[in-house]
Amino acid sequence: MKLKLTFTVLSVLTFMTVNAQSIESSTFGKGIFNIVGKDSTWSMKIAARMQFLATSTWPEGQKNESEFLVRRARLKFDGFAYSPKLEYKLELGLSNNDISGSSEFTSNAPRYILDAVVKWNFHENFELWFGQTKLPGNRERVISSGNMQLVDRSLLNRRFNIDRDLGLQLHHQFRLSEKFIAREIIAISQGEGRNITTGNLGGHQYTARLELLPFGNFESDGDYSGSDLKRETTPKLAIAATYDFNHNAVKTRSNQGSYMANDIGFYETNISTVFVDAMFKYQGFSFMAEYADRTADDPFAKNSDGTLTGDVVQVGNALNLQAGYLFKNDWEVSGRYTNIELNKTITGKDAENQYTLGVSKYIVGHKLKVQSDISYLEVANSNDQLMYRLQFDIHF
């Protein structure tokens, strides 16, 4: 299957190369090359990236466990079609981690497609998005996995993020003053995650996000990139809040987690998720904070006769605090604290605290870097765990 996909992609690239008017090679990290159509009515930038990860863990009272992974391997295509006001993005995942999760709900097919979305700037500062892409949830999730400050995202993201889904998004921004910028995003999506082919088993998902940037835009969209690689010359701050409502959700973590099957199909309940986050950067120092809270009308999945199925919605809250300082030689030290408080009465899970210390060397920004971190996971009434990770990132 992977060989067939790779052959198909190469065939398409060969066809476009032969029929394009001009092909421009890019500088390192800016894409493999850019193609522009003969009549300039379309363009395509082609990029690839890989992440190689080594992990070693020491669960308390147990022997060490180690693994080596191609954590991510991806191809990305973006550009415009017909008009620069109509943009598109297609991102494919090729590593086992990228394509895992196949099931009857994905037609038992690998989940190759990460993003497949078109963006139409139909009026001034309004953009309409249609397709599969990240929902406007917590900041850490929307930040690309290739632009992270530490080796991987936090436990808050793992437990609470709303990830990607298929639907519509409306983006808009306006100025409250010469510098003060406000952005609004609303989304309506299928509500069950990416690459789902079985249709809408529950209700739909509705997401709204408001972002405030009182000191103006960050350099190079730095509010959605880890570390202050641009060394902002003036303080920059972004504050945001998201409310997500999944009507008649059928999965344990809103549009994520496992399906709550019962004797007549699927258990449905309304699930609400709230995110509040902030990003601050100034002269090499960066700070990011996130809070998440999930509730459900009735978190206990039931059969038609009221008996419990054993599935429960993962309700609770989490806090993530992260900071770093980038030295002028492009070495950075960073730290993170994450607290997870799932409702134990409902989920049976104890509180977790994770402390992480990281070191990164940026050779060509996020496009070529080596990152390492060590984490201590503290779990109430259970064994603690020490984890060390080393990752190499390369983007073309």
Check residue 30 and give its pLDDT.
86
CA distance 229 to 386: 29
Q: How many CB atoms lie within 10 A of CB 193?
A: 25
- pTM here is 0.92
Residues 172-212: tens digit of each pLDDT: 999 999 999 999 999 999 999 999 999 889 999 999 999 99
Asked if residue 92 has pLDDT above 70, the reply is yes
Please check the confidence at residue 314 and state whether its pLDDT lies above 80: yes
Per-residue pLDDT, averaged over 160-171, amounts to 97
Cβ neighbours around 23 below 10 Å, total: 13
Find the mean pLDDT for residues 156-177. 97
Q: Report how far residue 94's alpha carbon sits from residue 111's, in angstroms, rounded to the nearest whole number.
A: 9
d(CA 190, CA 205): 6
Are 35 and 44 a contacting pair, CB within 8 Å? yes
pLDDT tens track for 365-393: 999 999 999 999 999 888 999 999 999 99
Identify whether the C-beta of residue 244 lies closer than 8 Å to the C-beta of residue 255. Answer: no
What is the band of 11 on the pLDDT scale with cuts at 50, 70, 90?
low
Q: What would the two tokens of residue 345 be?
A: 């009465």
**Could you give the domains of the chain?**
74-360 (2.40.160.10)
Q: What would the mean pLDDT of 73-79 be, rounded to a whole number?
A: 97
For residue 93, pLDDT over 60 is answered with yes
Residue 4 predicted with pLDDT over 70: no
Contacts of 335 (CB under 8 A, 6+ apart): 322, 323, 324, 355, 356, 357, 358
pLDDT in tens, 12-37: 555 555 555 567 777 888 888 899 99
Looking at residue 19, what is its pLDDT? 55
Amino acid sitting at position 338 = T
**What residues have CB less than 8 Å from 54, skipping those under 6 apart?**
66, 67, 68, 69, 389, 390, 391
Separation CA 147–CA 143 (nearest Å): 7
Q: What is the DSSP letter of 218?
A: P
Region 156-162: what's the mean pLDDT?
97
**pLDDT (tens digit, 9 = 90+) per residue, 120-133?**
999 999 999 999 99
Residue 26 pLDDT: 74
Q: What is the pLDDT of residue 200?
A: 85
pLDDT surpassing 70 at residue 348: yes
